[in-house]
Amino acid sequence: MPGSAGVLRQSPVRCPNDPQHPHSPPQLESYLQSGAKPEMAELRQTAAQNQTATMLEIGSSLLNRSAEQSRKLTDVEAQVLNQTWRIEMQLQENSLSTTKLEKQLLLQTNEIHKLQNRNNILEVRVLEMETKQRAELAGAHSEKEKLQRLLSRQSGAIEEMEKTLLAASANTSLLQRQQLQLLQSVQNQQGCCLLTVPSAAAVSPGQEQQFQDCAEMHRAGIRTSGIYTLHIANLSEAKKAYCDMETDRGGWTIIQLRANGSLSFQRSWREYKQGFGDAAGEYWLGNEAVHLLTSRAPYTLRVELQDWEGGQVYAHYGKFQLGSERQFYRLSLQDYSGTAGQQSGLALQGTQFSTRDADNDNCLCKCAQMLSGGWWFDACGLSNLNGIYYPARNNIRKLNGIRWHHFQGPSYSLKGTRMMIRPASF
């Protein structure tokens, strides 16, 4: 040590072999050892201090690092806690959403069960209605057969009555001839002029008086409404028609009648031309017959309509004419009046007749096929009295039914209709 070295330099150096030297060689070694102990202790102390300082620095560094790691761990732990809290919140929200969806699913399942129950009830009702309708249809078929048999019997009775009438006419003709002979005998004897014979006796022997329409029959004195035989000029065969001798002074020839749906009006052009049905029920007189009648003199048209609530209205046209088949039975009307609406339900001029097999309307849609029946459709128009017959409570929203736009609207199917004509001069 430096301090010890200074002390040694101040002591006089003596030779070990000097007899005056205070120590012998063993003593010297002991002396040196005793002098070096403090220095060694100091060195050890210094080294220990240095080592302690180093250890303290290392410990301080470790503490700092530990504190930094603890701080980082605290931050990470805080982040983990925040993230955990967020996840828990999301889980709660998801749980609430799941619960809500489960409730909605239960509600929808209940609604589905209710709808299924309703559907089952409706199916049962539909089956009951179908069964009922089948029974009613079977009853209707049975009634139809009965009516047909009754009609056959009535037709036979009418034929017998016609034969009786012919025999009576023959007897009348014989009586008329005898009356003429008596009159001639009286005139010859008295030298007077030939007496005027009443119109009933003016018929030539063996010839029955013939009428072209009901107005002629009315003028001839026939005042009873009923079915009569018409002999229309230039028509190949006689036509049976119903004559209305009561409405508005009578004389009306019925050309169309709808009353109960017993006759289908879904017919061809040829059938509408020649006519179909029975004058004792529903029928169409025939376009050709109406054309021939209305071409020889001015005619009027009356259209009568009846709804299912008991309402009755009419449309009157002061002039009515039907063109020829070459003109597709073109309709010509004038002077509308009546109670069936403020405007005419028929196009007044130039509308041609159309059927399912003869499309003469002014629409690309083929009105006769879409709306059914044969009619003067124009562009599917405001009326169709030859549409499908729908019964009560099933006659609403029927565009292909029996329609007259200005009476009960465009889709109300009527209960009954009559179309009738007579000369305008009547």
- pLDDT tens-place string over residues 390-407: 999 999 999 999 999 999
Q: How far is CA 327 from CA 33, 291, 331, 352, 372, in A?
A: 160, 11, 9, 8, 22
The class (CATH top level) of 211-423 is alpha beta
Phi, psi of 377 (to 5 degrees): -75, -25
Asked if pLDDT for residue 66 goes beyond 90, the answer is no
Contact call for residues 315 and 340 (beta carbons, < 8 A): yes
- pLDDT at position 7: 39
Domain range summary for the chain, segments of one domain joined by +:
69-186, 211-423
Most confident of 25-29, 178-182, 255-259: 255-259
Contact call for residues 291 and 277 (beta carbons, < 8 A): no
pLDDT-based confidence at residue 8 (cuts at 50, 70, 90):
very low
Token representation of residue 194:
């030939």
Phi, psi of 348 (to 5 degrees): -75, -35
Model pTM greater than 0.85?
no
Region 90-104: what's the mean pLDDT? 89
Tell me the average pLDDT of the chain.
84
Q: Which residues pair with 313 in a beta bridge?
A: 305
Long-range contacts of 379-384 (CB under 8 A, 24+ apart): 381/346, 381/347, 381/351, 382/344, 382/345, 382/346, 382/347, 382/406, 382/410, 383/345, 383/346
Task: List the end-to-end C-alpha distance of the chain, in Å, as a whole number.
Answer: 169
- pLDDT tens-place string over residues 262-273: 999 999 999 999
- pLDDT tens-place string over residues 128-169: 888 888 888 888 888 888 877 877 777 677 766 666 666 655
- The residues, ordered by sequence, that sit 6+ positions from 117 with a Cβ below 8 Å of its Cβ are none
Report CA torsion sign: 144, 150, 151, 153: positive
